[in-house]
Chain A
Amino acid sequence: MSNSLPNTTAQGAATSTSHTKTPIQRPSLGYRFLRSPSVLVGASIVIILILIAIFAPAISPYDPIKQNFKIQLQPPSADHLFGTDEFGRDILSRVFHGARWALFVGFLADSIALVFGVTLGLLAGYYGGWLDGVIRWLTDVMLAFPYLLLAMIVVAVLGPGITNAMIAVGVVYMPQYIRLVRGTVLSIREQEYIEAARCVGMSPTRIIFRHVLPNCIAPIIVMATLAIGWAIVETAGLSFLGLGAQPPMPEWGAMLASGRNYMLTAWWIATFPGLAILVVVIGFNILGDGLRDVLDPYLKR
């Protein structure tokens, strides 16, 4: 990637005369990222969250798990900015530690979906034939389930717990990647440069990794970004239902579930973890939309 300054319209008048021989340069990718407000806002939110997650033990004022029954259900105050829960635990500290779980779980669930989904999508799109038939059938079957019920079956089989909830969410999002990648591969499979690569005698594996995959990467990046946010919500939902994180783990969905019992007397317990989920998801949504606009203008809705 070139780091030269792009010919933007602002300087265009001055530079176009002096560089008449150079063709019109497209602004570099990095520059286009910096010019996109969505990418900047989304990335800032996500980076702040990652920092909170990394430094959670350092910036949390209290231990997120230690119970203190002398200060049960205290409203937000200077000592406890987000208040305390039914066990006297500091909610701010729990929300900070929850960011670790949320990002960890969202990232891993998304990775599971991405690795398997992209592989199957590439195979189905590139080879076609019976392999495509089988993979498409599998995708159709998985998409026939309401995603939460599918995730519930997976958790039923594996047993409740945050790891299994994460795997369940990964499985649920896999078909989305398969569809996306398969469609993209189908559209580029018959292009001349692929044909050329075949004529030169490149092996299918090499063609897939050198020519097909790089051309699918933009939509995959967009999808992966958006899906982290969704995966965080889904996993929190499973925890809320009692199928994911178990107490006393500071996980946002589980915190909301216990906050539900104190909804009318202690609003802060259910408010702040939910707000945290909202901020994370908005961050990834804005970033994903921004990336889509920058990476692929044709994908714009």
Chain B
Amino acid sequence: MYVRAHTWWTILRIALEERLVYRGDFALGTLMRFLPIITQIFLWWAIFESIGGGSAEKVEIANFTFPDMVAYYLLTMVGRAFSSMPGLASGVARQIRDGEIKKFLIQPVDMVGFLMLSRIAHKLAYYSVATLPFALVFYLCRGYFSAGWPDPLTLAAFIASLILGFLLGFFLETSIGLIGFWFLEVSSLLFVYMLFSFFLSGHMFPLDMLPEPWNLLVDLLPLKYLAYFPAAVFLGKVSQDELMLQLGIQVAWILFFIFLSRYLWKRGVRRYSGFGG
């Protein structure tokens, strides 16, 4: 038991150090990622003003006021910081293709666990560097959070939704990557997934804005938990009784993808054949 914990700890530490090499570039890149928010602010400002006939105040689109809308975009950035997994699925697929995956078949290390730890390290390193730019931007935009801090229960649910978002994103993308056992090249599949996830996770706009049949469809997909849900929780758009239900559904989705990734791994390894060293 101790040995195993030690192994995991070492993996985590190495991955963390590896990630912190380019911290300057990291922080700058994070700050730049907020630039599109500026255009979003002005776009929505203009839209709300147009609807209000010259004044953006007291105008609501799908229950969002103008400050809500900007706060929403900022919060989805936080949600994505937890749930997005750059390079995970493509990395898994590449390892399958290259045969690098062999090492997990020989060594007593579980591949999904290993990936998970390196991803946690990746995220921790990211937060340690990105917190500063995030804090700066949120401070500058504090005026858009017109309701102030939410109550402790909502805040706890927000944090829970972020962590669950991380798990969901991780197991979802790992599952996609593991499809590589069957297809070898999953980059186009991945592109389609990314496209849909950008649109349907709520990264592009609050999902409440979707008209009739579409909002029901989106409700049935797991993608909304990656960006929309944490932001909606923070802004108090999810009622207290619905909150627990939604978190429950999110956990169910995570369990589904955990089992799916395990299953794909088992079946995939059976199919897999590696040659050479």
B is bound to A: no
